[in-house]
Each structure stands twice: as C-alpha cells, then as structure tokens.
Structure 1
C-alpha cells in the first residue's frame, strides 16, 4: 500500500504542479537570448522604449543605453515586459539587471531596488479631449505671461519711448522749422535727392499721404518714422493677442487634483499616476462624514487602486465596475491604450506622464483631438532601475558615470528635444 501511495504521489504531484502553473497568470518577462552580460528590460512606453516593426528595441532610452553601454563595456540582451509590475518582479528576483523604460524614482521603489543617476524630469498631468471652444482664461494668462516677459516688456517700452521722442520732435519742428524756403530759393541737389528717395519709400511702403501736412522734408520724415513705430507697436500687440486666442482654441482649464475622483480616468497600471489617483480618493473619503455610503464607496475605489502584483498579467486593461458614484477608473498596460480610451470617448481624461502624453497627442490619430494640460500636479525624476540581486554597486557607479558625462554635454537638451519633441522638458 505504501508503494502504491508513493506511486500516486509521484504521478499526481507533477500533474498538480503543471495545472497550477497553467492556471496562474504569467508574470515573467521574455526570456533573454544569446550570450550576454546584462539583461535589460523594456516595455511599450513611447517615446522612451518600444519595439520597432523589425522586432528590435527602439526609443530615446534605448539609444541612450547603447551609448552608455559602450562606456561600461558590457554586452546586453534586451527583454520585453508587458507592465511595470512585471519589470519589478524581475528586478527583485534577479532575472533582470536593468530597467530602462521610464520609472519614477520614489522612496518605496528605492527600498526594493537601486536607481541610477536621475537623467530626466517629467511630471504627472492630465490629457483631455480637445474642443473647438476658446478658453478665455488660458488666453488671458498667455497674454499676461507674454507681455511681462523681460524681452517683450523691454521691446514695448523701447517702442513707446521712440514714439514719444518722435512726437516731441515733430511738435518742436511744427513750431520752429519754416514751412517753405522763401525768397524764391530752390532746393539743392542733396535735398532734391532726399525728397525723391522719401517719395519712393512712401509709395512702396504704403506710407503715401503720411507727412503731407508738412512742407518741410524733416517734418515729413519724422511723421513717417512715427507712423512706422506706431504700426510696429500695434502689430506686436495685435500679434500677441491673436496668438494667445488662437492657442487657446481647444484648450481646457486646468483640472484641480481634488476634482479627479469625479472624472472617468484612465491611467497606467502600477504607475505613480495610479498611486497619485489613489491618494486623491483617500483625501476625498476623508472629507466625507463617517458612516456615509459615499465614504464607503470612495474607500473601495481607493483599495481597488492599490497595485496588486498577483493580478492576471495577461489582461491588457482593468476596468472598475460601476458602483453608482460619478467618475470611474480604467487601468491599462501602456499609455497608448489609455489615450485610445480618451480618443474613443470611454473616459474623460488620462492621468499620466507629461512627456509620454504630449508625445502621443502630437501623433495620428490623436493630433488635434487630444490636448495635454500645461501644468503638472508634481514633478517626477526618472532613473534606470538596477537589481540588487547580482551585486549592483559596481554597475550602478559605472552607469552613473556614463550618464553624467552625457548630461554634461552641451547638446544634451537638444538631443532630448530632437527625440522626444520640442518642449519635451516638463513644465514646473
């Protein structure tokens, strides 16, 4: 009987193990191929990291890693992960050495694995659907900010002073300069040449008729100068106003963080954006009286927003069921899916990375359909995550040294904007 029992155990145990492995959600990133010194993980996070049509890793962080790896003299095997939590599982287990997809440096993450030198700063912001309406508040803010820029303010003051000086000189000429030569005297060749030149300028510049009230050449010149200065000043002011109102078309007022729980929000699963949204639900719950049904529902949403690494990683999207409260939550594995939810009208906004959302908003089919809030809820420092499982001190120091050399390059900022787009440095 003992031999039968042992045989059963030997037979059923492997089957049970296989069943459990098949039933449990896959949590591993791709297995590395070929000979390599380091396993470097990426996920779909344009424009930082993504897989190109040829299956090769692409993006700003990939290019930067290729440059840095020449200094640290290590061969690399790239692996693709589906989500942030998959990358973190690999970091803690030692199957991944470095994650170069964008990760915010936080105290909680630094307790679990190391980070390189910060190489970029982004921020949490909101993307919303663009409308055809003009946001007058945004337009007025733009005008005020433009006018009070030091260079613009100096130019306006200079034009005003020049116009005042010209007006003063004109007034003086009207009192002191004779209207005509008198005594039958004729103008000399220089004066005649100047008169003809002035006539040509007046006709070609659209100033014909300006200065006709003056018989003297000097009076005509000064009045024309005054007209040109005034026109330039008016054009500058009109240009600022026009640009501000055109830029405000489709813009939406900035949404306060406390208003986020009332919106249908899509965000990246297990990201700092998800944690920030969870904090807003916790704060909203704290403002509701104890025992109220709304407080219970807000607490449930906050609990649902806590990142659970044991969830099914094969899912590309997690949608919270309707609970009767306004707003809602959708969690996706990448920013593109989150913005697609906004584009198709399934959510009101996307809460996420300023650089990623700005980049996607300029791409088809989102260009002209999605706008990104101009301010951020908080700045977020980006670094490369480094596993502690394989002795990371030497690797971290080598990566830091290589990054610092490249960041001190005078072309660093231009390199970022050439890859990520103009204005890719996040606003404060």
Structure 2
C-alpha cells in the first residue's frame, strides 16, 4: 500500500518537475536605450535617423519581444557605460566590448559579434620603411649574405689552389693569389661583368663552369627569398605583434577596451576622445599607429581616411554585446530572442549589408 502511494505521489509531481522555469516577462513601460556613433554598428543617416548593425539588431529583437523604447545618444564610450552602470538607460546598443572590468559594473546579453583590435598606420612615410630596414637588419638576411660570401670565398680558394702554378695572376704570395681567386669568384657569381683572368687548368675550368651555373641558381634563390621577405614585411607593416607597439607612438580611444588591453601589455599610448581624432593624428604624423576595434577602424578609414590602412593583424579578441544594468530582468528574454535571431537568415543578410562579404563570414 505504501509503495502504491509513493508511485501516485511521484506521478502527481512529475508535471511540476518537468515544467521549465518561465522566462520573466519584459517590462511594459518604455525603455531607454543608449547608443553612440560607432559606424557601421550605430550611426545616423542623412535625416538623423539611427541605423547600423547593432541598431537594426536591437530593433529586430525588440519587435519580437514587443518592447517599447526610445534611443538616447551619448557622446563617448565612457559616458555610455556610465549611463548603463547608474541605470540612466535600460540598455545600450552600439559597439560595446564585454570585458571583466565592465562585467563587474553591468550585465551583458549573449555576444552577437566577435572581432578584435586592429592597427591603423599611414600608407607611406618614414614608418613605411621600417619593415624594409627590419628585413635587412634581421638575422636571416645576415645569415644568407654570410652563406653566399662563404661559398664565394671557398670557390675562390679552390681556384687559387688549382691555378697558382698555371696562371701568373694567381701566383706570387699566397695572400695575393687568394684575393685574386676570391675576386674572380665574386665577379662570376654576381655576373657583374666578364670575369678576367679565368682558370687555365682543367680542374680550375671544371670548377669555374660548375660555379657559374650554380651561382645563377644561388643568386636567383637568394633574390627570391629577399623579395618574399620584403613583401611579407610590407604586408605586415611596422607592427606585427604587441611587442612592436612598445617601440612606436601609439594612440587609442579613452575609456575603450583598447585602453585596458594596452595597459595590460605595458604599451604607452596617447588617449583621444574619438577615433577620428586619433586617425587624424596618424595622418599628420603625430603618432605612428592607432589601435581600436578592427571593424570600426576599417569602416572609418574607408569612408574618410584613404591615406591610412589597417594592417592585416588582429590583436586581442573581443565580443560585442548589448549592455544592461545589473540585476536586469530583461536579459533572459533578450538572450533567447538574440540566440534565435543570430541563427536566422535575417542576421546573415544584415551583416552582409553593413560589413560586406569579408565581415559577414
């Protein structure tokens, strides 16, 4: 009898155990959503209306949840973050990176975009020659030159040994004969002109033929290697990693996640209020590089700074999300709507429209 009662009690409680916790309903009041100009994620059109990847995403999610809201602009990243942390706004949709320090003061939804920090530099100028100088001063280049020099000296020594008894140019004191052999070897290797005082003995002439053919291949390989290294260095630019930033003048946006990254990496920098100010400083030569969120840099340079370029490297890693005040009851509903949206065709089309094919992948 007791066993039967236990089974009946278990069956009665099963629906309650299987029922998932209800998602809190979003507030019915009008929400205040903060934003700032950060193209292509948040920007204004010619009529002053807000648009952009983050803005369109918020509108799409808010429509799905039936949220009423109005957008309020803040001038800087720090002002927008302060508005979220103090509860002046109910959410912030722009290009906000999730960091540990920010997470202590506010909440974030599921990330909707993964990116990293980019480095903007001038297309020309003095800094453009630094990668070239770096190549010529590198150990690899020095090793290649010394290898060629060593082979030329070895061939020159053999020519002297073969010809010292058969050719007056290589006779006399050993030093004189060695220099003559080394000079002939270098001239034959570089094809700088007709090599004078060629070998007369059979071993010397055989070695000369082999060396002339081999030197053509050797020089071609050497030149190809240097060209490839110079091309790679030029593509990478003056900055290849974080360590290179410590040797040049760097700029960053005050209050951005870039500042936290540069500080942790012990990189000195000059702070600017807006990305455009830092890019103008690069253009004017007051700083050598400007570090900021890569998609924002690429967009701004494409629109307004054709004299600059974003190097093909990515520093750090970043996740953009919608910022919320702590203990916000809307987050769960927003997360569910975001996860459903990010897997759909609408999001793929929207990314393609704002970022193109490179940014949409």
Asked if these proteins are the same fold (TM beyond 0.5), I'd say: yes
For residues 350 and 247 of structure 1, the distance between their equivalents in structure 2, rounded to whole angstroms, comes to 21
Query: TM-score, length-normalised on structure 1?
Result: 0.50
How far 1:348 sits from its partner (Å)? 0.7
How far 1:274 sits from its partner (Å)? 0.7
Query: TM-score, length-normalised on structure 2?
Result: 0.59
1:344 partnered with 2:284: yes
1:2-401 aligned at under 5 Å gives the runs: 37-131=30-124, 252-281=237-266, 329-364=269-304, 366-367=305-306, 369-388=307-326, 392-393=328-329, 395-401=330-336
Aligned partners of 1:361 and 1:370 also within 8 Å: yes
Q: Which runs of 5+ in 1 are unaligned?
A: 1-34, 138-243, 285-327
Q: Which runs of 5+ in 2 are unaligned?
A: 1-27, 134-228
Aligned partners of 2:235 and 2:311 also within 8 Å: no
Q: Which has the higher helix share?
A: 2
The residue matched to 2:246 in structure 1 has which SS?
helix
For residues 250 and 258 of structure 1, the distance between their equivalents in structure 2, rounded to whole angstroms, comes to 18
Aligned partners of 1:122 and 1:379 also within 8 Å: yes
Shift of the 248–422 alpha-carbon distance from structure 1 to 2, 3 Å rule, reads: farther
How far 1:255 sits from its partner (Å)? 3.0
1:420 partnered with 2:360: no
How far 1:377 sits from its partner (Å)? 1.7
How far 1:78 sits from its partner (Å)? 0.7
For residues 352 and 34 of structure 2, the distance between their equivalents in structure 1, rounded to whole angstroms, comes to 24
Moved over 4 A (4+): 132-137, 244-251
**Structure 1 vs Structure 2 CA RMSD:** 3.0
Aligned partners of 2:236 and 2:313 also within 8 Å: no
Shift of the 342–335 alpha-carbon distance from structure 1 to 2, 3 Å rule, reads: same
Shift of the 348–36 alpha-carbon distance from structure 1 to 2, 3 Å rule, reads: farther
User: Counterpart of 1:189?
Assistant: none
Aligned partners of 1:42 and 1:50 also within 8 Å: no
For residues 383 and 75 of structure 1, the distance between their equivalents in structure 2, rounded to whole angstroms, comes to 20
How far 1:136 sits from its partner (Å)? 8.3
The residue matched to 1:347 in structure 2 has which SS?
coil
Deviations 1:9-63 (A, max 9, x none): xxxxxxxxxxxxxxxxxxxxxxxxxx96111111121111123332322221111
For residues 103 and 235 of structure 2, the distance between their equivalents in structure 1, rounded to whole angstroms, comes to 40
For residues 246 and 63 of structure 1, the distance between their equivalents in structure 2, rounded to whole angstroms, comes to 40
The residue matched to 2:319 in structure 1 has which SS?
strand
Aligned partners of 1:50 and 1:57 also within 8 Å: yes
How far 1:128 sits from its partner (Å)? 0.8
Aligned length: 237
For residues 87 and 339 of structure 1, the distance between their equivalents in structure 2, rounded to whole angstroms, comes to 22
For residues 245 and 261 of structure 1, the distance between their equivalents in structure 2, rounded to whole angstroms, comes to 22
User: Counterpart of 1:169?
Assistant: none
